Amino acid sequence: MATKSGDLWSVEYGCDQFDVVWLGDITHFFSPEENIRLFRKAHDALVHGCAIIKNSFARRDSEFPAWGELWLYAVSAGGAAYNYHEYKDMLERAGYRDIEDINKGPIKTIKP
């Protein structure tokens, strides 16, 4: 298993070398434009037909959406508690297809 460590914006992810990219609870800290940039970096790093899995506890369509949005307002300049459809749009704009919501938590998609 290969992993990459470092600042997610400056580290090079490489091209066509990973089967899975896991983005934990980080995307809600960023604006839609920043997330699309991050999803594109991950897209380039994935082998065709492989998956990105994005997780977020602070989803607007989760069980406690107000808590997540209030917390993000306090700690983030550009982030938000996005819902599934907003994440789906960002992922599609980054080049992904077959986007699947897994129990209002993780979102799985495949690099075509």
Domain ranges in the chain?
A: 18-110
How far apart CA 20 and CA 23 sit, in angstroms, is 10
Report residue 41's pLDDT band, with 50, 70 and 90 as the boundaries.
Answer: very high
Percent helix, strand and coil across the chain, each to the nearest 5: 35, 20, 45
| Domain boundaries 18-110, CATH class | alpha beta
Q: How many residues are recorded in the chain? A: 112
Q: What mean pLDDT do residues 28-47 have?
A: 93
DSSP designation for 98? E
With 0-12 / 13-18 / 19 or more C-beta atoms within 10 angstroms meaning exposed / middle / buried, residue 63 is exposed
Question: What pLDDT shows up at residue 28?
Answer: 82
Query: Which residue(s) pair with 97 in the sheet?
Result: 110
Task: Quick: pLDDT tens for 69-112.
Answer: 555 555 666 777 788 899 999 999 999 999 998 877 788 999 98
Instruction: Name the pTM for this structure.
Output: 0.82
Residues 6+ apart with CB under 8 A from 37: none
* CB-CB contact of 54 with 23 (8 Å): yes
- Percentage of the chain with pLDDT > 70? 79
Check whether 37 has a pLDDT greater than 70. Answer: yes
Report residue 32's pLDDT band, with 50, 70 and 90 as the boundaries.
Answer: very high
